[in-house]
Amino acid sequence: MRRHKGTVLLIVMLWFAAAAVVSAEPVTIELWGWTPGSVTGDKLAELIEDFNASQDEVRVVLAGETGIDKLIVAYAGGAAPDVTFNVADMAALLGGPNGILLPLDEFIDGPNGVPREAFIPDMWSFSTVDGKVYQMAVEGNERGLFVNTALASQVGLDVNQHRPIRDWNDLLDWAKKLTLRTGDEVTQWGFNANHNLGGDKWHWVWLNDGKLVALDYSESLVTHPNTIEALQFAADMIHVHGVAPPDHSGGVQNPFIQNRYAMVMERSTFIANLERQGMTDFITLPGPVGVGKEGGRFSGASASAIAIVNSTKHSEAAWKFVRYITYERGLEFAETRGGIPFLFEGLQNEKFRTQPWEAFADQIVNLRPERLPAGLPNDVFSNPFTQAWNRVIRGEVPASIAMQELHEVVSARLAEFRQSQ
């Protein structure tokens, strides 16, 4: 009898020992993100390696490149990763009670969480759906005003005063002084008013407190007076005041570097391009707002966001990596990507208290966040808006007429889109 009990005890002890060995094996988390070969991809690979070496419980494996459509297909087939990177719209597109992303609130506020107040409020605004957080973001790509200081000094403009260009009256005044002519030929344009990307055009409207589309897809708002005023002001810079070129088919960055455009509205990542070109004669300013306006900004523009897919079997382990990449090493990752960090600690660094970064740190905290509805197909709004914008900018039609015609088009397409949904 004693022998039998001893055998049982030995078996139990061996079982517990085996279980301990099994539990010591790290949990493997599959991640979709940037692959090595780019600056961001190389940095992500470095952070994954550091994370894996820092502890024994979780092992992260980069299993594929990111992509919304690809993720949806993989999820439907039961092959989605545990964690995925994507752009800021990911939460709005894939979050919510019927989405495929895992709510993060219990982890954020849990024992291994992060202090919400460590991040700028705007980060939470585009990461939250129906009151729950579905992603964390590392950094964003702000828009701001770039001014060629050498050209400004040549015409007697004081670039050293605090916020020399606060609104569109100031912008027009500087653009007039910075536009130079030899006879009928313009040798230097004061400003570029024909903004390049769709997001740049939207940002211009929001600087004037304009509206575009209701976030619930319910209606077109393009006939808002401030929207019409914003487009008309841009066109008038070209056709009435003659301080901006009627065409910029070659883009805006090279003409700025080549001293042909004295001022441009551009993304914060333009700074890296200027540094590579060895150009130091420039300052940046927060996007000037419409006269008498509060001013908004493109919230979460090009932000890199990371989320946990709700099909994961290892949510705690997945959160451990999300926390590491956005909070513990978030500032380092943002620095590598060349964006504006969403951690207050980063914005308090000396870099973001001096030129040329201070303007972007200032406006990301102080300008009202604005967004387009996530998931809105380009043919419903973006494409027709760009066509209407181009007609106004070319001087073919007043902004009031173009926006009324656009309103009718977008309203009809929104109705079709809502019905299809």
- Interval 355-408: pLDDT, tens: 999 999 999 988 999 999 988 999 999 999 999 999 999 999 999 999 999 999
CATH number at 253 reads 3.40.190.10
Compute the 3-state secondary structure of the chain and give helix, strand, coil in percent, each to the nearest 5: 45, 20, 35
The answer on 201 and 280 residing in a single domain is: yes
Instruction: Give the model's pLDDT for residue 115.
Output: 98
The answer on 279 and 156 residing in a single domain is: yes
99 within domain boundaries: yes
The answer on 191 and 44 residing in a single domain is: no
**Full strand arrangement of the beta sheet holding 58-65:** 58-65, 27-33, 83-87, 304-308, 136-137
Q: How far apart are CA 150 and CA 263, in angstroms?
A: 11
Q: Whole domain around residue 242: which residue ranges?
A: 143-299+370-420
Q: How far apart are CA 240 and CA 166, in angstroms?
A: 22
The answer on 105 and 57 residing in a single domain is: yes
Q: Is the pLDDT of residue 336 over 50?
A: yes
What average pLDDT is seen over the chain?
Answer: 92
363 within domain boundaries: no
The answer on 415 and 324 residing in a single domain is: no
Model confidence band, residue 250 (pLDDT cutoffs 50, 70, 90):
confident
354 within domain boundaries: no
19 within domain boundaries: no
Model confidence band, residue 12 (pLDDT cutoffs 50, 70, 90):
very low
Q: Cα angle at 68 between 67 and 72, to 5 degrees?
A: 115
Model confidence band, residue 6 (pLDDT cutoffs 50, 70, 90):
low
Q: How far apart are CA 72 and CA 66, in angstroms?
A: 11
What's the pLDDT tens digit per position in 75-108? 999 999 999 999 899 999 999 999 999 999 999 9
Quote the number of domains for the chain: 2
Q: Is the pLDDT of residue 21 over 50?
A: no
Instruction: Give the model's pLDDT for residue 388.
Output: 97
The answer on 34 and 180 residing in a single domain is: no
Instruction: Give the model's pLDDT for residue 261.
Output: 97
**pTM for the complete prediction?**
0.89
